[in-house]
Structure 1
Amino acid sequence: MDDVSKLQKINSVARELMKHGQASSMEEAVQKATQQVESGGVLEQQPMQEQPAEQQPEEAPAPEMQGEEQPQEQEVEVQQAEPEPAPEPAPEMHEEQHSEPVEQPQPEAQSTDVAQRLAEMDNKINGLIAEMTALKDEIRRLKESPVTPPLKPKQAKEGQTQFKQDPAPPPPPKQEGEENKGEGHARSGHYKPGDVSVEKFFYYGNR
């Protein structure tokens, strides 16, 4: 028996064992199929059509080939039955980043903000234009109306005093007795110069 036909026979027997539930895994099915093929409990496989494992004739393999072929067959079946590795879960940091996306300003919001600012600037410009127009009208009105120079403060006071001042009445004539009374001073006691002569106070005679 050549190696190719033996491998085909082992594969077919292993599939039948898995199909009928006689093996829990592909490795176990390969081991059982290899034992059956080597022990001669399986009939040989037809070249064109597979026959059931019970009807296939089996030839006893040479003892030298048993040790060489069995590890290769098991390795092939193990590779076929090996499950694919499960994808690793993403780190928590990536999950948080996906769960909390960064908010980016929308173009619609930006355009609305720009429009509001432009409207405010237009209102301010219109207000300034209205104020300038009012100032121009006031200046034009002042130029057209006649302007009288204001009176000086001195001239205004003189005019007021001229109209308000009245001539003062002449003082009454004083009498002679009143004039004599007015000659004395309060401190001198109304004395005459002869009453207070120096000679009366000092003695010039012999002692």
Structure 2
Amino acid sequence: MDVERIQKVNNLALDLMKQGLAQDREEAVEKAEEVFKERDTEDYANIRQTMEKDQPETRVEEQQKNGDDLSPEMIKEILEKNTKFIIKTFREFQEKIVEMEREISYMKNRMLNSSPKVKEVVSNVNTQSGQEQQPAQQSAQENSADNHPRSGNYKENDVSIEKFFYMGNK
């Protein structure tokens, strides 16, 4: 069924329901399809006759083409071409795989050779910073032991009382 025919059937079914000729939707659709079947049978018969006339001509042409195309020599040539193409494609893929494996091994070697240099630089930086941090930590510990805020060794001027108590808008 094509879209136009379905639309026509639906429109006719709605008209039949509005006029009271059908009691429900299904009955209206059935009646509408019957009306269109009567009209379409004539068109269908004409189309079928023209198709039957055209088909014998195409069948004869297809048989002639099939007979010419399937000679044993042609089949051998086609198979040889396909085999050569497949072999060529496999070789190209094999070469690409070998090339990629070389690149991967080169990258791995490069990573292995460059990584000790990075580790050496990091270890040198750590030893230098470790030596600088030790004296700084010792002096910080001495200063913090002398003047710690929890010990109560601070003056009124060091901390404002307004920071402890909030009295509202200023």
- Higher RCO, 1 vs 2 (CA within 8 Å, ≥6 residues apart): 1
Bucket of the pairwise TM-score, normalised by the shorter protein: 0.3 to 0.5
**TM-score in terms of structure 1 length:** 0.29
What TM-score do you get using the length of structure 2 for normalisation? 0.33
**Greater fraction helix:** 2
Query: Which protein shows a greater Rg?
Result: 1
